[in-house]
Structure 1
C-alpha cells in the first residue's frame, strides 16, 4: 500500500526523538554539545559519500566527464537564487516558531528536556527552532527521501524507506538528546514531503534514469555538508534556501544529455 514506508519513517523519528528526550534529561549541556558535534561529523561523512556520485559512470556517460561538476554548480546557484527569493529558510524558521508556540507547553517542555532555563525564554525558543529546522533538513535532504518515496508510490516496495527510517530513528535520538522537542515535530515535514513524492511515484509510474539520480545525489551531498557545518556551529548555513537545487539537478542533467 503506497505511503506505508513514509508512515514507518515518521514513527521511527517520533520514537527515536522520544527516547532521545528521555536521555537528554539526564545529560549535561556539554554532553549534548558533543553529541551534536559527533552527529555533524557523521553527516559530513554521508555528505562526502553522496557528493562522490559526481563521478558516477552513469552520469559521466550521459553528460561527459566535464559536465557533472558544472551541473552541480549550476543546480546550487539556480536553486539558491530560487530558494532565497522564496525565503524558504525564513519560512521554515517561522513555521518552527509557530509550532513551538502551539505545541511546546512550557512546564512539560522544561520537565522533559531538563533545560536549566525556562522554555519560554529566548534560549528555549532557539533550541526548539534549531531542533526543528536542523532535523527537518537532515530527514528530508538527500535522494533517499525522494527516491524511496517514489519507489513506494510505484509499488516496488519500501526497502529504501525502511533503511531511511532506521537511520532517521538513530539520528533522532542524538538530535532530541541535544535539541529537544523540535525534533519530534520535524516528523510533520517528513510526512508531507515524502507523502508528496509517494503521490508523484504513483503518477509517474517510472524511475528517474541513473544519471539523474547521481546528479541529485551529488547535489544533496553538498547540501548535507551545509547542514553539518550548521550543526557544528561553524557557520549558520542557509541550507533550506538551497533545497530547490535538488529539483534543478535532474532537469539540468536531462538538458545536457540532449546535446
Structure 2
C-alpha cells in the first residue's frame, strides 16, 4: 500500500497531540533522553541506507553539486525565513492559539529531507521505513508542541498527509515513463544519498553537528540527472 507510511505518519501526529493534552508537563530530562534516543536511531537508519549504493561516486557527486545548488539558492534560509514570517503574521493575530499551533507544527513536520525521501521511498520501492521513523519523531514532537501551542497541532496532520501522499503517488507514476535501468539506478543511489541526509538529521538531533540538510535536497535531482546521463551514454557509446 503506497500511502501506508503517510497514513501512519498522520495518525502518529494525531495520537501525539492527544497525549500532549493529557501530559501537560513532561520533565526536561525525559524530553532530552527520548530525543537523543530517536536521534541515534535516525543516524543508524541513515548509515544503513547510505551503504546501499552500488556506485558511490554518483552519491558523492550528487551531494557535492546538490549542496552547491542548495547553498546558492539558500533553501534552508528561505524555508526558515518563511516559517518566521508566517509565525509573526499568525502570532500577531492569535498568540499561542490554534492557528499558530497549526502553522508551527506543519512547518516542522513538512519541511525536511525525511518527508521527501520517505515519500519517494514509499512510492518507488514500497518501503515505508523512513516514514515510520519520521512518524516516531513527529509523534513525540507533537506531544511537546501540544504542551506549548495546544490542540492546533492536531490539524497539521492533514497537510502532512496531503503533501507526502502526493509525492508518493507521483513517484509511482514515474516508472511508467522512465526505462527500468534508469529507475533501478535512481532508486539505489537516491536511497544512499537520502541516507546520508538522514544521517545528518540524526547528528543534528544529537547536537553533534549543525548541517543545513534542506540545502542538500537538490542532490536527489542531481542523482536523477547523473543516472540518466550515464544510461544514455552507455546506450550510445558502449
TM-score class normalised by the smaller sequence: 0.7 to 0.9
Residue of structure 1 in register with 2:66 after alignment: 79
Aligned counterparts of 1:46 and 1:135: Cα–Cα separation in 2? 20
CA contact (8 A) 1:21 1:176 kept: yes
Aligned counterparts of 2:130 and 2:19: Cα–Cα separation in 1? 18
Q: What is the CA-CA distance between 1:134 and the residue it aligns to?
A: 7.1
Identify unmatched segments of 5+ residues in structure 1: 60-67, 110-118, 152-158
Residue of structure 2 in register with 1:172 after alignment: 138
Aligned counterparts of 1:43 and 1:254: Cα–Cα separation in 2? 30
CA contact (8 A) 2:2 2:169 kept: yes
Aligned counterparts of 1:248 and 1:81: Cα–Cα separation in 2? 11
Q: What is the CA-CA distance between 1:220 and the residue it aligns to?
A: 0.4
Residue of structure 1 in register with 2:119 after alignment: 145
Aligned counterparts of 2:207 and 2:109: Cα–Cα separation in 1? 12
TM-score, scaled to structure 1: 0.68
Match status 1:215 vs 2:189: yes
Q: What is the CA-CA distance between 1:226 and the residue it aligns to?
A: 1.1
Tell me the secondary structure at the aligned position of residue 106 of structure 1: coil
Aligned counterparts of 2:22 and 2:196: Cα–Cα separation in 1? 31
Distance change in 2, residues 1:216/1:24 (3 Å): farther
CA contact (8 A) 2:193 2:219 kept: yes
Tell me the secondary structure at the aligned position of residue 53 of structure 1: coil
Two-structure CA RMSD over aligned residues (Å): 3.6
Tell me the secondary structure at the aligned position of residue 253 of structure 1: helix
Residue of structure 1 in register with 2:162 after alignment: 191
Q: Which of 70, 84, 94 is residue 81 of structure 2 equivalent to?
A: 94
Match status 1:242 vs 2:208: no
